[in-house]
């Protein structure tokens, strides 16, 4: 399916060779680079900050899909914009003033996404659906790569797609966690159009083949 975008997560890359690892997925047919930002507070793990994102900005023209798994995301919007983010996604659970945060991202001329943990109901984004560019449905509890897909995510995507269709909104639906060729088929059928995949791409001996399989072409 060519309307599907694949966003490999560099969380599963070899961090000692980040530039090569990004070049590898670009050549393998990736559409976006998914960058997982973790603060050791909202999620129990630490990854990259703005200086690392700025450094890798020089090695690819692919859009940067920055997934902020951090408390107080409002303090990090400008630094990640300056570092080269194209899409900035915040977690609804971290943002009591979600509407304001979305406006801040859009004022910077960037695409705004809102992510929901597996246990967070869709109603939390109902009032901002016409303001966002993307909703990110987590299909694992955020914090680590290589976890198993939580099956309820497919049903949640179906319900989100219906909410969007009801309002005639064209908002991207991204899904993140445990995506491989088999789970990709389920979430695409449910309405997802941007698929994040970490271990399924970086763990494959042939990343191009893995991306084709997730896209549903094999």
111 vs 139 by CB, closer to ligand DX5: 139
Q: Which of 21, 39, 65, 176 binds Zn ion (CB under 5 A)?
A: 176
Pairing of strands 172-176, 64-69: unpaired
From 83-91, 120-128, 154-162, 190-198, give the range in contact with ligand DX5 by CB under 6 A. 190-198
Helix axes 18-27, 207-215, angle to 10 degrees: 50
From 105-113, 146-154, 175-183, 206-214, give the range in contact with Zn ion by CB under 5 A. 175-183
Q: Which residues contact 176 (CB under 8 A, 6 or more apart)?
A: 9, 34, 67, 115, 136, 137, 138, 139, 140, 142, 196
Which token pair is 116?
A: 């929901």
Catalytic sites, residue numbers: 36, 176
Rounded Cα gap, residues 215 and 156, in angstroms: 20
Site mask for Zn ion (CB under 5 A), range 14-53, x = bound: ----------------------x-----------------
- Out of ligand DX5, Zn ion, none, what residue 146 binds, judged by CB under 5 to 8 A for its kind, is ligand DX5
Rounded Cα gap, residues 155 and 158, in angstroms: 5
CA-based angle 150:159:105, to the nearest 5?
85
Site mask for ligand DX5 (CB under 6 A), range 135-154, x = bound: -----x-xxxxxx-------
168 vs 205 by CB, closer to ligand DX5: 205
Site mask for ligand DX5 (CB under 6 A), range 48-87, x = bound: -------------------x--------------------
Q: How far, in whole angstroms, is CA 78 from its chain's centroid?
A: 19
The residue ranges that bind Zn ion (CB under 5 A) are 36, 67, 176
């Amino acid at each position: 399916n060519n309307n599907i975008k694949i966003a490999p997560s560099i969380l599963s890359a070899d961090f000692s060779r980040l530039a090569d690892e990004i070049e590898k997925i670009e050549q393998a047919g990736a559409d976006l680079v998914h960058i997982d930002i973790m603060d050791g507070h909202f999620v129990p793990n630490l990854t990259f900050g703005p200086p690392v994102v700025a450094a890798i900005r020089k090695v690819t023209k692919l859009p940067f899909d920055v997934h902020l798994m951090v408390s107080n995301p409002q303090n990090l919007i400008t630094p990640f914009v300056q570092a080269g983010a194209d899409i900035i996604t915040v977690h609804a659970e971290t943002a009591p003033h979600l509407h304001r945060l979305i406006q801040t991202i859009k004022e910077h001329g960037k695409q705004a996404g809102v992510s929901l943990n597996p246990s967070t109901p869709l109603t939390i984004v109902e009032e901002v659906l016409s303001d966002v560019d993307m909703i990110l449905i987590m299909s694992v509890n955020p914090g680590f790569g290589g976890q198993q897909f939580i099956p309820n995510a497919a049903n949640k995507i179906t319900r989100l797609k219906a909410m969007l269709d009801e309002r005639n909104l064209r908002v991207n639906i991204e899904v993140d966690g445990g995506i491989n060729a088999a789970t990709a088929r389920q979430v695409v059928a449910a309405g997802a159009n941007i698929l994040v995949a970490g271990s399924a791409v970086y763990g494959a001996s042939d990343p191009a083949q893995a991306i084709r399989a997730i896209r549903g072409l094999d």
